[in-house]
Structure 1
Amino acid sequence: PSRLKSARKAAGLTQQQLGMALGMEPNTASARMNQYEKGKHAPDFLTMKRIAKELDVPVAFFYCEEDILSELICALGKLKKEEQIRILNSLNSDKT
C-alpha cells in the first residue's frame, strides 16, 4: 500500500484523479483508492496492472518485499530493452 501512495504522488495525481483514470466513478474514485492505499482492500492483479500503467511503473514494483528491489525494478523498467539486456548480461557474467 505505501508504494501505491508514493507512486501516485510521484506521478502528481490525487486519489480521485487516479481512480477516474482507471474508470472509477468520480464520487467513489477517491474513497476506493484510499482503501487500496491503506490496505483495507486489495485490488486484483488486472487492476494493479492498470494502476502500474497509469503511474508508469512496472507492476512488479508493487509486489516486491524489499524496497531496494522495488527501486531497481523501477529504474530498470524505465530503460530500453537493449539496455536491460546489456545489464542482465553484465550481471550474469559477474556470477562466473
Structure 2
Amino acid sequence: MPRSSSTSAVFPKRLKQARLRSGLTQEQLGIAAGIDEFSASARVNQYESGKHTPKLQMGQRLAIALQVPTSFLYEEDDLLASILATAARLSREKRKALLKSAEALTQTIPLTSKTK
C-alpha cells in the first residue's frame, strides 16, 4: 500500500497518541505487537519518530495491541480518526445505530444493502 508523505507523517502521531492513551510504554507495546523484547522499545520509538514506517501487517498488530482500528493509525483527518476510535469501542448494536444516525444526517443511500 503506497503511502503519501502526509499519510506517512500521520502514522507516528496516531501511534503515539494511541499508545499514550493506552498507558503502555514503547517496550510494552512492541512486545504486545510481537516484536522481540530486546528491540521492542527501539522499534516503536523509530515508528513514533517517523524514522521508520512499519509495513501494514505490523501496523495491524500494533493496532490490535492498542485496541484501535488499523484505519485509525492511518487516518489523516483528526475528526474522522476520533470517530473511528470511538466507534470501535461501541457494541455491534450501537455501531448499527451510529451508522443509521450518520446516514440520516447525510441523507444518503446506505453503502450496504443489509446492515446486520
Mark yes or no: TM-score above 0.5.
Answer: yes
Report whether the alignment pairs 1:47 with 2:95: no
Normalized against structure 1, the TM-score is what?
0.91
Give the superposition deviation at 1:82: 1.3
Tell me the equivalent position of 1:74. Answer: 85
Q: Please, what TM-score do these two structures have when normalized by structure 2?
A: 0.77
Q: Select which of 23, 33, 43 maps to 1:12.
A: 23
- Aligned-residue offset at 1:9: 1.3
Moved more, 16-25 or 33-42: 16-25
Structure with the largest fraction of helix: 1
The CA distance in 2 between the partners of 1:50 and 1:37, in whole Å, is 15
> What is the DSSP-based 3-state SS (H/G/I as helix, E as strand, rest coil) of the residue aligned with 1:24?
coil
Determine the C-alpha separation between the residues in 1 that align with 2:27 and 2:103: 43
Percent identity over paired residues: 43
- 1:60-80 per-residue CA deviation (whole Å, 9 max, x = no partner) reads 111111111101110111111
Q: Which runs of 5+ in 1 are unaligned?
A: none
CA contact (8 A) 2:14 2:74 kept: no
User: Which secondary structure does the structure 2 equivalent of 1:88 belong to?
Assistant: helix
Return structure 1 stretches of 4+ with deviation > 4 angstroms.
none
- Residue-pair matches, total: 96
Instruction: Compute the RMSD of aligned alpha carbons.
Output: 1.2
Unaligned runs of 5+ in 2: 1-11, 108-116
